[in-house]
């Protein structure tokens, strides 16, 4: 009899363009050899050119989805993406605590790749208060980190300061994504409260960047579901995102999607 697949759960919005949100998460979960489940928080109307509509799912329905998964298909790891409002952030935090969901990766989605805002301003502090203390890992980009810590994050030293601040405020670990740095290389920094890890790679000349953050956080969650150490899960996910960007299919006329068909680490 085959070994059971680890179950992963994404609590996030649906992207009609298929490049980000739960669509990217499920493709990534599959690439990493886990069984993906979902709790959809919003239906977005979007493509590679931008977001033209956001339709929140009722909060009771979001909590019911989480409950249905947790009671029958207990996740070995989970992640959150687009949560939109402070009330939804509080409700999701309550569900994470109620069901004691392990290996929680917090992707604090605030702005789409196209620049469209996906989180109410009053929800930022709620994320810090309600979700950050539950997070095994928080994965902000530079803009998100600046909003969360209340200070500009524009260079490597500021990234380290923001990562330390997020851990001091409750996260078990913080991964600062340096894709928005004005430099010729990508710098990603992980701090777990004791040790620092840093990855540097040449920056790719591509517009196929839609869903990179979703894909990365889903890849980390999948690695944790397999029981891998946090550093290994992060490294595998970073590598997967890079390969998926290099193999991007060139779809759409805006910020195109990645190619999630590249293999993740499944052994």
The answer to whether 257 and 18 have CB atoms below 8 angstroms apart is yes
Structure tokens at 91: 């409700």
Residue in 18, 19, 211, 256 annotated catalytic: 211
Residue 78 annotated to the active site: no
Listing DSSP states for 204-245 in one string gives P--S--BTHHHHHHHHHHHHHHTT--HHHHHHHHHHHHHHHH
Residue 214 annotated to the active site: yes
CA-CA distance, 6 to 198, in Å (whole number)? 28
Residue 209 annotated to the active site: yes
Q: Which residues contact 9 (CB under 8 A, 6 or more apart)?
A: 36, 37, 38, 39, 66, 69, 70, 75, 77, 78, 79, 101
Residue in 27, 214, 215, 256 annotated catalytic: 214
Distance, CA of 197 to chain centre = 19
CA-CA distance, 105 to 156, in Å (whole number)? 23
Residue in 38, 41, 113, 177 annotated catalytic: 177
Residue 213 annotated to the active site: yes
Residue in 38, 48, 209, 215 annotated catalytic: 209
CA-CA distance, 8 to 136, in Å (whole number)? 14
H/E stretch holding 196 reads strand 196-202
Residue 10 annotated to the active site: no
Residue in 13, 21, 213, 223 annotated catalytic: 213
Residue 211 annotated to the active site: yes
Residue in 28, 48, 212, 215 annotated catalytic: 212
Q: Strand, coil or helix: what is 82?
A: coil
Return the active site residues. 177, 209, 211-214
């Amino acid at each position: 009899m085959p070994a059971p697949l680890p179950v992963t759960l994404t609590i996030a919005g649906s992207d009609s363009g298929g490049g980000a949100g739960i669509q990217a998460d499920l493709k990534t979960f599959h690439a990493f050899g886990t069984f993906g489940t979902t709790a959809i928080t919003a239906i977005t109307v979007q493509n590679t050119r931008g977001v033209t509509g956001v339709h929140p799912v009722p909060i009771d329905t979001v909590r019911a989805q989480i409950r249905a998964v947790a009671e029958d298909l207990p996740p070995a790891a989970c992640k959150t993406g687009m949560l939109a409002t402070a009330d939804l952030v509080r409700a999701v935090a309550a569900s994470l605590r109620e069901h004691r969901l392990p290996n929680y990766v917090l992707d604090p989605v605030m702005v789409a790749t196209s620049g469209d805002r996906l989180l109410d301003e009053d929800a930022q502090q709620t994320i810090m208060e309600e979700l950050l203390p539950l997070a095994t890992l928080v994965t902000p980009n530079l803009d998100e980190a600046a909003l969360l810590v209340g200070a500009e994050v524009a260079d490597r030293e500021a990234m380290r300061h923001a990562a330390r601040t997020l851990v001091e405020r409750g996260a078990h670990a913080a991964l600062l994504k340096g894709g928005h740095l004005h430099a010729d290389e990508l710098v990603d920094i992980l701090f777990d409260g004791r040790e620092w890890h840093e990855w540097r790679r040449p920056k790719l000349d591509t517009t196929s960047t839609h869903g990179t953050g979703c894909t990365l956080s889903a890849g980390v969650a999948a690695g944790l579901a397999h029981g891998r150490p946090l550093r290994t899960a992060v490294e595998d996910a970073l590598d997967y995102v890079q390969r998926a960007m290099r193999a991007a299919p060139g779809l759409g006329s805006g910020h195109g999607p990645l190619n999630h068909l590249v293999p993740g680490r499944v052994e």
